[in-house]
Amino acid sequence: MKLLQTCRSTLFIILSVFAAGSLAEPGQAIATFAGGCFWCMEPPYDELEGVISTTSGYTGGEVDNPTYKQVSRGKTGHTEAIQIVYDPERVSYQKLLDVFWLNIDPTNANGQFCDWGTQYRSEIFYHDAEQQQLASKSKASLEEMKPFKEPVVTQVTAATTFWPAEDYHQDYYQKNPVRYKFYRYGCGRDKRLEELWGDSK
């Protein structure tokens, strides 16, 4: 009986780890960011040297194994997010934070750009004490710098289970470049980013 319970516990841990998204190998690290539509958050990180992979998914909610249909209704508590596997010897977490801020609207507490609802909120999900410290310091620095009038409302919270999104969402900007560009333009994302960040972007 004890052996069976141990096997079940081990299996649960393994399944939980796989559900959490991309697995980092020794020498690699994980970062998780929410910045509205996850399609739009993959490209700026895929371009960074030292980033090994990006995965679109859902996190910060209460429902196990949520679907896009469930999350998009805004009833599960999740937000669209990306999980990044990176080599900290080649790209720092601070650099990932810098890219994050320049690709979101940190003044919107209830969505991003044309997408409204908490399922599109911006949020930094830290995985350890160092990430928490760096993220909090980065946010404080942005608040002190005040590049725009509105307050910074992006939250910094502990990472919870990350559920990878359906396959058709992964690398959407590469699989469907025309539809992606049309959505991004129609959503006014780049226009708003230019208003917020100007030449910094």
State the catalytic residue, choosing from 37, 40, 114, 187: 37
Model pLDDT, residue 38: 98
Model pLDDT, residue 4: 41
Model pLDDT, residue 107: 96
Whether the CB-CB separation of 35 and 60 falls below 8 Å is answered with no
Model pLDDT, residue 65: 96
In which residue are the tokens 């690699």 written? 28
- Could you tell me the end-to-end alpha-carbon distance of the chain, in angstroms, rounded to an integer? 59
Model pLDDT, residue 200: 72
Q: Which domains does the chain have, with CATH numbers?
A: 26-200 (3.30.1060.10)
Q: Please state the separation of Cα 170 from the chain's center in Å.
A: 13
In which residue are the tokens 């994302």 written? 189
Q: How many other C-beta atoms are found inside a 10 Å radius of the C-beta of residue 182?
A: 11
Q: Please state the separation of Cα 94 from the chain's center in Å.
A: 15
The DSSP 8-state label assigned to residue 83 in this structure reads E
Distance between CA atoms of residues 143 and 154, nearest Å: 11
Catalytic residue check, 37: yes
Whether the CB-CB separation of 27 and 50 falls below 8 Å is answered with no
Model pLDDT, residue 24: 78
Between CA 162 and CA 172, with CA 166 as vertex, the angle to 5 degrees is 105
pLDDT tens per residue across all 201 residues of the chain: 434 443 433 333 333 344 444 567 888 999 999 999 999 999 999 999 999 999 999 999 999 999 999 999 999 999 999 999 999 999 999 999 999 999 999 999 999 999 999 999 999 999 999 999 999 999 999 999 888 999 999 999 999 999 999 999 999 999 999 999 999 999 999 999 999 998 776
